[in-house]
Amino acid sequence: MSASTSSRTFAVDGWTPSSWRARTTLQQPEWPDRALLTSARAELAKLPPLVTSFEIDALRSQLAEAAAGQRFILQGGDCAETFDGCEPGSIAARLKILLQMSLVLVQGGKRRVTRIGRFAGQYAKPRSSDSETRDGLTLPAYRGDLVNGPAFDAASRTPDPRRLVRGHERAALTLNFIRSLVDGGFADLHHPEYWDLDFVKHSPLAKDYQAMVDQIGDGLRFMETLVGVNVAQVHRVDFFTSHEGLVLDYEEAQTRQVPHRAGWWDLSTHFPWIGVRTGAPDGGHVEFFRGIENPVGLKVGASTEPDALLATIARIDPHGTPGRVVLITRFGANMIAKHLPGLVDAVKRSGRPVVWICDPMHGNTETVVPQSGPGKGIPVKTRKFGHILAEVEQAFEIHRAAGTWLGGIHVELTGEDVTECTGGARGLSDEMLARAYTSAVDPRLNYEQALELAMLIARRMAR
């Protein structure tokens, strides 16, 4: 029996959708209005789900292929989606850049690529401090639109459970548009020109990209002539959704049993991941996610100890199911060589069939102070393209040396022409950051930087 149709379920050993409540659960909002919370949870529990168990199974088998080195995962999107940002232009632009990157990666890696968006529900953020103080006023920290608002006033910052329902609705609107675009032929490999973003023409990368697109077009036509079918009908390009499974009131309310199938499914997304701050083996998040049938991502950072990681993996994946656990590593370009080899070695010796994904964003965040320009003297959070690339390249090399397989990348990006990360082909400097810095939380690769990263990775994979 294949992994995807395994009859073993994960809801064992006293697990229930609410068993996490008996554990220490970090990063949860203090909801002041408990009655509102109860009604929001009840409403969420009866609304239609965002995804289906069949789609989740399809992703799980693709992840099993990635664990075995036969597939590459491209996971990307905003650090934090906002309710305001739920508009067609930015959703389509994110699909376009993920499609373009995946095309380039297929070309270079000669492997199938699975696209997973950090979208349709990426509304909750972990914070290093529960509160924020400005000019003597202390208010709760902004925890993402799922919980409260970013404006610094008491009304905005008070956690509001009605936002849980609003988040579900915004996610549904986003997903509805994505599904229509994909079903309507937007993602047809025969028409990569549909995915062109306006400024591709002016990009220093335009020529290289066009050459790749032409090559793929030639390959498709060759295949179709050879086998006599339209490739688009055989391999429809699809997208999966993911978000950090942070606010467990939200996840629990959307976790259900479905007719004729065993187990419990978190139907708020195909692929939830556990953040680096909430991955303790005995904590509430690991308790919740160990019982659901979805594949589960686990962020791994410089503070992750091999023994704790193995304990967490054993709780989430007691049967050793390929594709069940995805380890998303994020150390920083200058820390990965110190930490990743030991963790790879420990997991390899445990024999667990995990997928390894490199997140080259979250260990490379830094604060710079531009020396001139409109943002002169104002500290700004950024990431250097060179550091991002260096972390991915080291990840490839460390896995190669260990005999394991780097199964994908996890990036924060946007399909728009923002200025949040520095470097790349256009040499964006600290002084240019103020021009179009719109991220709600972390700095994202802009469209060109994201495409360039994919091209450089594809080149590396082709070697």
- Residue ranges that bind ligand PEP, judged by CB under 6 A: 79, 126, 244, 275-277, 299, 330, 362, 442
CA distance 423 to 449: 8
Tell which phi-psi region holds residue 249, choosing left (phi > 0), alpha (psi between -120 and 50) or beta: alpha
Stretch that binds Co ion, among 38-46, 128-136, 157-165, 441-449 (CB under 5 A): 441-449
Nearer to Co ion by C-beta: 249 or 442? 442
Contacted by 69, from ligand PEP, Co ion, none: CB < 5 to 8 Å by type = none
Q: Which of 450, 444, 445, 440 is CA-nearest to residue 124?
A: 440
Nearer to ligand PEP by C-beta: 181 or 327? 327
Stretch that binds Co ion, among 47-55, 191-199, 422-430, 438-446 (CB under 5 A): 438-446
Binding-residue pattern over the window 77 to 96 for Co ion, x denoting contact by CB under 5 A: --x-----------------
**Amino acid letter at 338?**
K
| Minimum separation from the CB atom of position 261 to ligand PEP (A) | 30
Please give the helix or strand (H or E) that residue 118 lies within, else none. strand 112-118
Residue 243 near residue 272, CB atoms below 8 Å? yes
Nearer to ligand PEP by C-beta: 77 or 424? 77
DSSP secondary structure letters along 85-98: T-SHHHHHHHHHHH
Q: Which of 318, 317, 242, 321 is CA-nearest to residue 274?
A: 242
**Amino acid letter at 218?**
D
**Amino acid letter at 432?**
M
Contacted by 276, from Co ion, ligand PEP, none: CB < 5 to 8 Å by type = ligand PEP
Contacted by 60, from Co ion, ligand PEP, none: CB < 5 to 8 Å by type = none
State how far the alpha carbon of 249 is from the alpha carbons of 29, 126, 220, 284, 285, in Å: 10, 15, 46, 11, 11
In this structure, the strands spanning 239-244 and 137-140 are unpaired
Nearer to ligand PEP by C-beta: 115 or 330? 330
Contacted by 71, from Co ion, ligand PEP, none: CB < 5 to 8 Å by type = none
| Minimum separation from the CB atom of position 412 to Co ion (A) | 5
| Minimum separation from the CB atom of position 444 to Co ion (A) | 8
CA distance 276 to 296: 13
Nearer to Co ion by C-beta: 79 or 165? 79
CA distance 448 to 417: 8
One residue of 78, 442, 448, 452 binding Co ion per CB under 5 A: 442
| Minimum separation from the CB atom of position 365 to ligand PEP (A) | 9
Contacts of 149 (CB under 8 A, 6+ apart): 142, 155, 156, 157
Nearer to ligand PEP by C-beta: 254 or 365? 365
Nearer to ligand PEP by C-beta: 213 or 300? 300
Total number of residues shown for the chain: 463
| Minimum separation from the CB atom of position 122 to ligand PEP (A) | 8
CA distance 321 to 346: 18
Residue nearest ligand PEP, Cβ-based:
275
| Minimum separation from the CB atom of position 275 to ligand PEP (A) | 3
CA distance 405 to 386: 23
CA distance 435 to 444: 14
Nearer to Co ion by C-beta: 145 or 442? 442
| Minimum separation from the CB atom of position 407 to ligand PEP (A) | 17
| Minimum separation from the CB atom of position 85 to ligand PEP (A) | 15
| Minimum separation from the CB atom of position 236 to ligand PEP (A) | 28
Residue 450 near residue 97, CB atoms below 8 Å? yes
Contacted by 330, from Co ion, ligand PEP, none: CB < 5 to 8 Å by type = ligand PEP
CA distance 137 to 126: 21
State how far the alpha carbon of 44 is from the alpha carbons of 10, 116, 152, 170, in Å: 23, 24, 28, 13
Nearer to ligand PEP by C-beta: 220 or 440? 440
| Minimum separation from the CB atom of position 47 to Co ion (A) | 27
Nearer to Co ion by C-beta: 120 or 213? 120
| Minimum separation from the CB atom of position 328 to ligand PEP (A) | 7
Give me the residue label for tokens 């055989």: 234
CA distance 141 to 441: 12
420 counts as binding Co ion under rule CB under 5 A: no
Stretch that binds Co ion, among 18-26, 75-83, 185-193, 416-424 (CB under 5 A): 75-83
Contacted by 126, from Co ion, ligand PEP, none: CB < 5 to 8 Å by type = ligand PEP
Contacted by 275, from ligand PEP, Co ion, none: CB < 5 to 8 Å by type = ligand PEP
Nearer to ligand PEP by C-beta: 103 or 120? 120
Question: Cα-flanking dihedrals φ and ψ of residue 326, to 5°?
Answer: -115, 120
Planar angle of CA 461, 462, 463, nearest 5 degrees: 90
Residues that bind Co ion (CB under 5 A): 79, 442
